[in-house]
Amino acid sequence: MQRLARVVVPLVLLAACRQFNPESCENPSNAGIPPCGMPDAPPVDTSCKDDMGCSATPDLPVCKIADAVGTCVQCTPEKHAKCSGTMPICTDNRCAPCTRHGDCTDSNVCKPDGSCALESDVAYVDGTAGTDQMVCSKSMPCTKIASAVMTGRAIVKVSGTVTEPTSLDNRSAVILGDLGATLAPLADAVALDVRGTSRIEIFDLSISHPPGATAREGVTVQGTADLRMTRVSVVNNAADGIRISGGKLTCTRCTIAQNTLLGIDATGGTIAISQSTIQNNLDGGIAVSGMDTGFQIIGNVIFHNRKPDTMMNTTIIPGSGTGGINVPQVRGLATNRIDFNSFSRNDARPLFAPGVQCISSPTSLTARYNIIWDNGTSPAFRDQVNAAGCDHKLSDIGPLPASYGMMNVNTDPLFMDELAGDLHLMKPVNAMLFANPTASEIEGPAARDIEDELRTVRTEMGADHVAR
């Protein structure tokens, strides 16, 4: 009998532990009291009949009725006014940011934060169909960017091809390019000159000179000006693409290509170049000079920047000392970085490294997580970096030197199409290319790769992070 008692007592205890919550519909005494229905009754109808029926769900304020059934949603095409702020567009009955100017029917201006601008806050420029005046309204756009900035409105919207050079001195503005918007001055002048204390942001604009133009830069930055460019193309200019002698230049997801001299010539100030493509600039990619010039060159594709040697009266005239990057004798600032870049097919004078030529003094710079591969006219016979310059760690450097320190590798990165400049990595990625940076090393401008994909601590060397 003792053995039986040991079995029965736990069963009794288990039965005693199962009790109804007095306020739950499981309690029979609550049957018929809302929200509880009668036993075996059909489910309670929770569908809405109109917007008043959605008052209990303030995040879903609109009643959408389909097939006689109402559902509470964020918005409908007929009631898109429920969407506002940085989520002004109704898509699939949900509020979302605007992604193109055409999403904003009133102003035709989608701001970078995803909100629609007020028409009264915008000065409109149309280089193709505008008129030369200072009103710069939506119905009467002007033809000069400088005129639009002088209106004092916070935003300048640019359409068409602007043929007047733009000089901005002690000005502030956000300049947004429409699809295909181009600044291509016909006059003998720098296309965009930003100076003084100006604070300028530019999105989605192409800056160039037309064929046959006099040797002028695409962009110059001087004084203490702060120029920030996102998805801007600086191409086909008859001198340097960008020259900065003071202030600060930030380029994010830009294309700097096919300029007659250097892609970027930084003789002073500070540059921050990330997620950008610097290619086919005839005198080299990026040159940084001036003892106190600061630089952060992170996550870029730097491809085929070179000036081929030419013959004149049987004398070889060598190209520039800049291949991919040339940093001659600058001060080793703690903020300076050359990380997560992919270099290929760049070239320089024989005495200069065609990939990265770098001398940082008095404190040495350590460049990390780069792929510096196959640079030089005869890459099999050219060192990719200068041995007595900056330090290189956790990078893929080759084909020569075959060994560049214990912290680097020497392996073909297997670019997707190196000859065409497609420096994405093939899948599966060579395991030797995994960088394994610290979390702090992939913050800020290193947080995203060349395709704007978020990096993780299991990322690769070079500009391309292969999502898994």
Other CB atoms closer than 10 Å to residue 347's CB: what's the count? Answer: 26
Tens of pLDDT along the chain (468 residues)?
Answer: 444 344 443 433 344 444 556 666 666 666 656 656 556 655 545 689 999 999 999 999 999 998 889 999 999 988 878 899 999 999 999 999 999 999 999 999 999 999 999 999 999 999 999 999 999 999 999 999 999 999 999 999 999 999 999 999 999 999 999 999 999 999 889 999 999 999 999 999 999 998 877 779 999 999 999 999 999 999 999 999 999 999 999 999 999 999 999 999 999 999 999 999 999 999 999 999 988 899 999 999 999 998 655 544 444 444 578 999 999 877 767 789 999 999 999 999 888 999 999 887 666 789 999 999 999 876 667 889 987 778 899 999 999 887 777 799 999 999 999 999 999 999 999 999 999 999 999 999 999 999 999 999 989 999 999 976
Amino acid in position 174? V
Task: Report the SS3 class of residue 168.
Answer: strand
Tokens found for residue 193: 């000159």
* Distance between CA atoms of residues 441 and 394, nearest Å: 13
Task: Report the SS3 class of residue 147.
Answer: helix
DSSP label of 380? G
DSSP label of 439? G
* Distance between CA atoms of residues 236 and 281, nearest Å: 9
Residue 213 contacts residue 191 (beta carbons within 8 Å) = no
Tell me the pLDDT tens digit for each residue of 148-176: 999 999 999 999 999 999 999 999 999 99
* Distance between CA atoms of residues 397 and 49, nearest Å: 67
Among 373, 417, 370, 364, smallest CA distance to 391 is for 364
- CA dihedral (119, 123, 127, 133) positive or negative: positive
* Distance between CA atoms of residues 69 and 173, nearest Å: 49
Element containing residue 90 per DSSP (H, E): strand 89-91
Share the mean pLDDT of the chain: 88
Residue 394 contacts residue 411 (beta carbons within 8 Å) = no
* Distance between CA atoms of residues 216 and 201, nearest Å: 22
* Distance between CA atoms of residues 185 and 202, nearest Å: 17
Tokens found for residue 457: 């601590």
Q: 190 to each of 183, 200, 257, how far by Cα in Å?
A: 11, 16, 17
Q: 331 to each of 69, 328, 357, 362, 372, how far by Cα in Å?
A: 70, 10, 15, 6, 23
Residue 214 contacts residue 238 (beta carbons within 8 Å) = yes
Among 294, 205, 280, 215, smallest CA distance to 247 is for 294
Written as one string, the DSSP assignment of 30-77 is GTTSTT---TTPPPP----SSGGGGTT-TTS-EEEEETTEEEEES--G
Cα-to-chain-centroid distance, residue 55: 41
Cα-to-chain-centroid distance, residue 425: 19
**219 class by beta-carbon count within 10 Å (0-12 exposed, 13-18 middle, 19+ buried):** buried
pLDDT of residue 267: 95
Q: 379 to each of 254, 343, 345, how far by Cα in Å?
A: 28, 12, 8
pTM of the predicted model, to two decimals?
0.85
pLDDT of residue 33: 63
Tokens found for residue 197: 């204390």
Cα-Cα end-to-end distance for the chain: 64
Residues of the chain with CATH 2.160.20: 101-408
pLDDT of residue 448: 97
Cα-to-chain-centroid distance, residue 58: 35
* Distance between CA atoms of residues 159 and 179, nearest Å: 7
* Distance between CA atoms of residues 360 and 8, nearest Å: 83
Q: Domain 101-408 - what CATH class?
A: mainly beta
Tokens found for residue 258: 């096919």
Q: In the chain, how many H helices and how many E strands?
A: 2, 37
pLDDT of residue 254: 98
Task: Report the SS3 class of residue 216.
Answer: coil
Written as one string, the DSSP assignment of 279-348 is E--TT-SEEE-STT-EEEEES-EEE------EEETTEEE---S-SSEEEEEE---TT-EEES-EEES---
Q: 75 to each of 71, 107, 369, how far by Cα in Å?
A: 11, 21, 46
